[in-house]
Amino acid sequence: MYVLDTNVLIHDPNALLNFEEHDVIIPMTVLEELDSLKSGKQAVAADCRQAIRNIDKLLGDASPGEIEKGVAIVRGKKAQPLGTLSILMSTEYQGNHGLPEHLNDNKIINTLAALQARHKSRDIILVSKDINMRLKARGFGVEAQDYHNDMLLDDIDLLPKGYKEFPNSFWDTIEKVETIQREGITEHILRREGDLAKLTINEFVIDQQGFVGKVSEVSEQQIVIRDLHQHDLMNEEVWGLVPRDIYQAIALNLLLDPDIHLVNLTGSAGSGKTILALAACIEMTVASKIYKRIIATRSTQGLDEDIGFLPGTEAEKMEPWLGAIVDNLEALHEDDENMTASVDYILSKVPLHFKSMNYIRGRSFQHSLIIIDESQNLTPHQIKTIITRAGNGSKVICLGNLAQIDTPYLSALSSGLTYMTERFKSFRHGGHIHLQGVPRSVLAEYAEANL
């Protein structure tokens, strides 16, 4: 029996369907918490409403007796029922020591302990995203686990970086190659074996001899690598910005590619994620005019709450949250005679809009560049909501540092950014680069190494 905590249903409203043949139990206290959180325009409220609708759909018109016993979970019209869903009434624990019931978490744990006493032959497991809740349950004698269905990897180090580095020369590992040239493009056709078998579309190949290639085609038997010239990549100037290393150079290559509609950039603080994205976006809206506008948003704790009724436009209220965008605009123009005037001029000329997540839900953005800063703080469900806002001719750029997650119940493995990177690694029109740290200053470099 798997007993679901409230935060699991908020994190993934479809979690009920992910326990296969096992029995899923929803405590009455969890339904009460969902009810208290369902009102409002916040993302949490929307997730609560979706979870409640899913529970209602699965239970259908079952009688109270059937609900208590367990209603078979039907996942499709022609699919056979698998597993059951039931509602667990709150009951007092009859043992010697029970947790004080002034907290909902304690009520749930006490109810599970009572359930465990009635079904001694069954494995009863609490599933919760709350680490402290799991610790309290284990301390009270109830088995507890994290919700793992959203974790596509066992170790964050297994997340693809977007490039494969070869020591010495890449060509030393190749036995046979067919090279073709057309329209100024050189491509190498190789057998897909060994290390090459693990490469995916739009992934890069780098070696210590200066070779840089990009996977342009992948089939079962062979792989096609487009030859990119390192000198050209390293000297690509975008709105006055020149890449500082090869990782920034290949990131710019993805950002400027009109055939790439989704770019995920990860990396530590100071690796250049935001400034690269911003420079590329300004270049593609002001200079080449491929896109009509830039939409910037981010997720932090409380950002999807109401932005208030005090005077000010949406952009003015969002500006403190998106200070990193303005900071990087200043960095791009720090050599100008009057940096402030340059930044004001860019803000007046560039169609740059700061948007709250509240106002993104339900919209569709055409021919737009959508920058999602701090996207490591989004759940997979939330990031899907934003990415599906991309309309015809739009590009989404997700930026984040998986070592700096500030949202409760999220880890690097369950972050929406990790989810998108892993799920879209074979997407022909998507790409991902993990940037190496480029210290902002001697002080930052020392602090990174010694603190």
For 394-436, how does the pLDDT look when each residue is reduced to its tens digit (9 = 90+)?
999 999 999 888 877 788 888 889 989 999 999 999 999 999 8
Identify the band that residue 346 occupies on the pLDDT scale cut at 50, 70 and 90.
Answer: confident
Identify the band that residue 40 occupies on the pLDDT scale cut at 50, 70 and 90.
Answer: confident
Residue with tokens 């994290």: 146
Per-residue model confidence (pLDDT) at position 303: 41
- pLDDT value at 233 more than 90: yes
Give the rounded percent of residues in the chain with a pLDDT score beyond 70.
89
Compute the radius of gyration of the chain from its Cα atoms: 26
Q: Do 309 and 435 sit in the same domain of this protein? A: yes
CA distance linking residue 42 with residue 57, whole number of Å? 23
Q: Do 330 and 220 sit in the same domain of this protein? A: yes
Domain limit, last residue, from 98, 127, 146: 146
Q: Do 141 and 176 sit in the same domain of this protein? A: no
Domain membership flag for residue 308 = yes
Q: Do 119 and 196 sit in the same domain of this protein? A: no
Identify the band that residue 257 occupies on the pLDDT scale cut at 50, 70 and 90.
Answer: very high
Q: Do 198 and 306 sit in the same domain of this protein? A: yes
- pLDDT value at 184 more than 50: yes
Question: Do residues 230 and 212 lie in contact, with contact meaning Cβ atoms separated by under 8 Å?
Answer: yes
Q: Do 63 and 106 sit in the same domain of this protein? A: yes
- pLDDT value at 271 more than 50: yes
For 399-410, how does the pLDDT look when each residue is reduced to its tens digit (9 = 90+)?
999 988 887 778
Mean pLDDT of the chain: 86
Domain membership flag for residue 424 = yes
Per-residue model confidence (pLDDT) at position 389: 86
Domain membership flag for residue 360 = yes
Identify the band that residue 180 occupies on the pLDDT scale cut at 50, 70 and 90.
Answer: very high
Between 114 and 305, the higher pLDDT residue: 114
- pLDDT value at 235 more than 70: yes
Per-residue model confidence (pLDDT) at position 100: 83
Assign residue 72 the CATH number of its domain.
3.40.50.1010
Question: Which residue from 408, 364, 411, 414 is spatially nearest to 385, judged by alpha carbons?
Answer: 364
Give the count of domains, the chain. Answer: 2
Q: Do 219 and 322 sit in the same domain of this protein? A: yes
Burial of 133 (0-12, 13-18, 19+ CB in 10 A): buried
Q: Do 84 and 168 sit in the same domain of this protein? A: no
Q: Do 118 and 204 sit in the same domain of this protein? A: no
Question: Do residues 60 and 36 lie in contact, with contact meaning Cβ atoms separated by under 8 Å?
Answer: no
For 74-120, how does the pLDDT look when each residue is reduced to its tens digit (9 = 90+)?
888 788 889 999 999 876 655 666 788 888 899 999 889 888 888 88
* Three-state secondary structure string covering the chain: CEEECHHHHHHCCCHHHCCCCCEEEEEHHHHHHHHHHCCCCCHHHHHHHHHHHHHHHHHCCCCHHHHHHCEECCCCCCCCCCCEEEEECCCCCCCCCCCCCCCHHHHHHHHHHHHHHHCCCCCCEEECCCHHHHHHHHHCCCEEECCCCCCCCCCHHHCCCCEEEECCCHHHHCCCEEEEEECCEEEEEEECCHHHHHCCCCCEEEECCCEEEEEEEECCCEEEEEEEEHHHHHCCCECCECCCCHHHHHHHHHHHCCCCCEEEEEECCCCCHHHHHHHHHHHHHHHCCCCCEEEEEECCCCCCCCCCCCCCCHHHHHCCCCHHHHHHHHHHCCCCCCHHHHHHHHHHHCCEEECCHHHCCCCCECCEEEEEECHHHCCHHHHHHHHCCECCCCEEEEEECCCCCCCCCCCCCCCHHHHHHHHCCCCCCEEEEEECCCCCCHHHHHHHHHC
Mean pLDDT of all residues in 360-381: 86
Assign residue 246 the CATH number of its domain.
3.40.50.300
Per-residue model confidence (pLDDT) at position 301: 47
Domain limit, last residue, from 128, 146, 164: 146
Q: Do 207 and 346 sit in the same domain of this protein? A: yes
Between 183 and 400, the higher pLDDT residue: 400
Per-residue model confidence (pLDDT) at position 230: 92
Domain membership flag for residue 151 = no
**Does the pTM exceed 0.85?**
no
Per-residue model confidence (pLDDT) at position 262: 96
CA end-to-end span of the chain: 45
For 314-340, how does the pLDDT look when each residue is reduced to its tens digit (9 = 90+)?
556 556 655 667 777 777 777 777 877
Q: Do 123 and 175 sit in the same domain of this protein? A: no
Domain limit, last residue, from 111, 146, 181: 146
Q: Do 135 and 160 sit in the same domain of this protein? A: no
Identify the band that residue 31 occupies on the pLDDT scale cut at 50, 70 and 90.
Answer: very high
Domain membership flag for residue 109 = yes
Domain membership flag for residue 299 = yes
Per-residue model confidence (pLDDT) at position 354: 76
Q: Which domain holds residue 172?
A: 156-449
